[in-house]
Amino acid sequence: MSRFVIITTDTSFEQRVRAAVTGGLHGNVQRLPESAINGAPSGIILQDPSEPPEVVILGPGVSTDEALKLATVLDLQYPEVSVILAAETSPELVLTAMRSGIRDIVSPGADLAEIRVLLERACLSSAGRRRGLSNPATADHETGRVIAVMSPKGGVGKTTVATNLAMGLGKLAPMGVVIVDLDVQFGDVASALSLEPEHTLVDAVTGAAAHDAMVLKAFLTVHTGGIYALCSPMNPNEADLVTADHVSHLIAQLATEFRYVVVDTAPGLGELALATLEQASDAVWVVGMDIPSIKGLRTGFGVLHELGLVPQGRHVVLNFANRHTGLSVQDIEATLRVPVDVVLPLSPAVSFSTNKGVPLLQDGPRSAVSKNLRKLVERFAPDSAGQMHKKLHRRVVVS
């Protein structure tokens, strides 16, 4: 049996699905006749009981009502199978599809990159459900890693670090990464990733999206690099609509759906940042090579220690580093009383990347900054646990 099964009358869409699978996924695509949508689910799933499909794609060209009926039965009888509906979306359809157990909705005109991302995401979901069914006692504990990217002051390159971290993690876990822009007044994630989101953070924390992950996914923006993004409100006046309770619930929702949740917080220790830290498994602290930024971070560490909000995973990134500032890495570590884990040298490549709207780890230029950003990403790789503490920080040299 093939890994992907598609029921459609649209040969162009079928060809794009096949090309998306061939271009980056494992497995084959099997097309079933339109009449299969009216048949029993077992006729689709059990053609080869030893190797059932992971993803079933319904449409375009088939009856949406029949597709929803089939999805409902598939969800009840074969919950480990991910179902994708190819149709033009509407709020009513999203809610109905969610209730029917459909994993995602894709536009019939979607390009290869978007289709590939959704298929990979569906495969990851199927694998997770299979693990949960085989070991239900631990299913509730399988949540994603929440990484809060923090800084005591603005202007230290926090969003640059956050977007590159998300892009790098997207290569480790395609379709398993979402970046959330919690700078609700002046967030820059959308511009840093060249995105024009149809929906923003406000949409995600209000209405139906706050109550169901299927609806929430409809408000995420897909990036061609294989990650999702939830961008900040376009109007700063909407910032007050997002509360700490909203943030706590949102992050908990996303952690059940994604392997990595990267949260780009606003500078400082506002209530949204504190709510994020309550959920975070890791915090990436970005600090510049200047006295105000360093002292601000030291003060922030003290406050968070008193509140008990320092995540177990701590990663300090020194940005804009150069040897002409009168400070050394050792000076900074002595002030912070913690080691510096990653040093990002001052480089014009960063400004060029930011202005272009293409993260360094997406574009792939060879530079010292890209190399060290990859070191940051490697700290979150599944096989990196326990290795980072063995590294010597004193050998870091700023050029």
* Residue 65, pLDDT score: 92
Distance (Å, whole) CA 222 – CA 177 = 10
CB 158 within 8 A of CB 267: yes
Average pLDDT score over residue span 162-184? 92
Distance (Å, whole) CA 73 – CA 94 = 18
Distance (Å, whole) CA 96 – CA 37 = 18
* Residue 94, pLDDT score: 79
Domains defined for the chain, CATH in brackets:
4-134 (3.40.50.2300), 145-396 (3.40.50.300)
Q: Spell out the alpha helix ranges (H) of 105-243.
A: 112-134, 136-139, 158-172, 189-192, 201-205, 213-217
Q: Read off the pLDDT of residues 318-355 as tens digits, 9 standing for 90 and up.
A: 999 888 888 899 999 999 999 999 999 998 888 888 88
* Residue 364, pLDDT score: 66
The packing angle between helices 348-356 and 158-172, to 10°, is 80
More confident residue, 168 or 394: 168
Whether cis (ω within 30° of 0) applies to the bond prior to 60 is: yes
Q: Read off the pLDDT of residues 255-291 as tens digits, 9 standing for 90 and up.
A: 988 999 999 999 999 999 999 999 999 999 999 999 9
pLDDT-wise least confident of 187-196, 210-219, 276-285? 210-219
* Residue 17, pLDDT score: 94
* Residue 149, pLDDT score: 97
* Residue 139, pLDDT score: 43
Distance (Å, whole) CA 77 – CA 40 = 11
| Beta-bridge partners for 230 | 180
* Residue 398, pLDDT score: 55
What's the mean pLDDT when you consider all of the chain? 86
> What percentage of the chain has pLDDT greater than the value 90?
48
Q: Read off the pLDDT of residues 44-87 as tens digits, 9 standing for 90 and up.
A: 888 777 678 899 999 899 999 999 999 988 888 888 899 999 99
Query: Looking at the predicted structure, is the pLDDT value of residue 308 above 80?
Result: yes
Average pLDDT score over residue span 377-390? 69
Does the pTM surpass 0.85? The reply is no
Q: Are β-strands 221-223 and 227-230 bridged in parallel, bridged antiparallel, or unpaired?
A: antiparallel
Distance (Å, whole) CA 136 – CA 330 = 48
More confident residue, 298 or 399: 298
CB 88 within 8 A of CB 109: no
Nearest Cα neighbor of 221 from 230, 212, 210 is 230
What per-residue string of b and e applies to 147-172 under the rule 16 or more CB within 10 Å gives b? bbbbbbbeebbbbbbbbbbbbbbbee
Q: Spell out the alpha helix ranges (H) of 197-312.
A: 201-205, 213-217, 244-257, 271-279, 291-307
Distance (Å, whole) CA 274 – CA 182 = 11
Q: Read off the pLDDT of residues 99-119 as tens digits, 9 standing for 90 and up.
A: 788 888 899 999 988 898 888
Nearest Cα neighbor of 78 from 104, 43, 30, 36 is 43
* Residue 141, pLDDT score: 46
- Cβ neighbours for 109, distance < 8 A, ≥ 6 positions apart: none
Query: Looking at the predicted structure, is the pLDDT value of residue 133 above 60?
Result: no
Q: Give residue 131's pLDDT band: very low, low, confident or very high (50, 70, 90).
A: low
Q: Give residue 5's pLDDT band: very low, low, confident or very high (50, 70, 90).
A: very high
